[in-house]
Amino acid sequence: MVKRMTLKQFVFIIPLLVFIGVFSFYPIITSFMYSLFDYRNNDQSYNGFFISEQFNGSLFQEDCKYVNYFLDADKMLMDEADQAEISAVQEDVTAMMEKYADITDTEKISDSQMTEIKEFNRDIRERIMAVYDSDKYAGVEFYNAENMPAILDNLDSTIVTSNFVGLTNYINLAKDGRFWADVGHTLLFTVVSVFFEFILGLCLALIMNQSIRGIGAIRTMGLIPWAIPTAVSAMMWKYMYDGDFGVVAHIFNKLGLIDTQASMLMTPDGAMASAIIADIWKTTPYMALLLLAGLQVIDSGLYEAASIDGSGKVGTFFRITLPLMKPSIMVALLFRTLDSFRVFDLLTILTGGGPGNGTETLSIYSNKLIFSQSNYGYGSAVVIGMFVCVAIIAFIYMKVLGADVISDKTA
Q: What's the pLDDT score for residue 2?
A: 58
Q: What's the pLDDT score for residue 46?
A: 81
Helix H or strand E encompassing 12: helix 7-20
Residues 336-359 have pLDDT tens digits of 998 999 899 999 999 988 888 899
Is 347 in contact with 277 (CB distance < 8 Å)? no
Q: Where are the alpha helices (DSSP H) in 137-229?
A: 148-156, 168-174, 177-208, 215-222, 224-227
Could you tell me the pTM of the whole model?
0.81
Q: In what order do the strands lie in the sheet with 54-56?
A: 106-107, 54-56, 159-160
Strands 54-56 and 159-160: antiparallel
Is 383 in contact with 31 (CB distance < 8 Å)? yes
Q: What's the pLDDT score for residue 404?
A: 53
Listed in sequence order, the residues at least 6 apart from 67 whose beta carbon sits closer than 8 Å to its beta carbon are: 90, 93, 124, 128, 148, 151, 152, 155
Q: What's the pLDDT score for residue 410?
A: 43
Q: What's the pLDDT score for residue 194?
A: 95
Is 82 in contact with 75 (CB distance < 8 Å)? no
Is 142 in contact with 77 (CB distance < 8 Å)? yes
State the DSSP string of 25-81.
Answer: IHHHHHHHHHHTB--BTT-TTSSS--SS-EEEHHHHHHHHHHHHHHHHHHHTTS-GG
Q: What's the pLDDT score for residue 179?
A: 94
Quick count: other Cβ atoms within 10 Å of Cβ 83?
16
Residue type, 326: K
Is 187 in contact with 360 (CB distance < 8 Å)? no
Number of helical (H) and strand (E) elements in the chain, helices listed first? 21, 3
- CA 364 from chain centre, in angstroms, equals 7
Cis peptide upstream of residue 355 (ω within 30 degrees of 0)? yes
Q: What's the pLDDT score for residue 295?
A: 87
Q: For the chain, which residues score pLDDT lower than 50?
A: 403, 406, 408-411
Quick count: other Cβ atoms within 10 Å of Cβ 343?
22
Residues in the chain: 411
Q: What's the pLDDT score for residue 406?
A: 47
Helix, strand, or coil (residue 164): strand
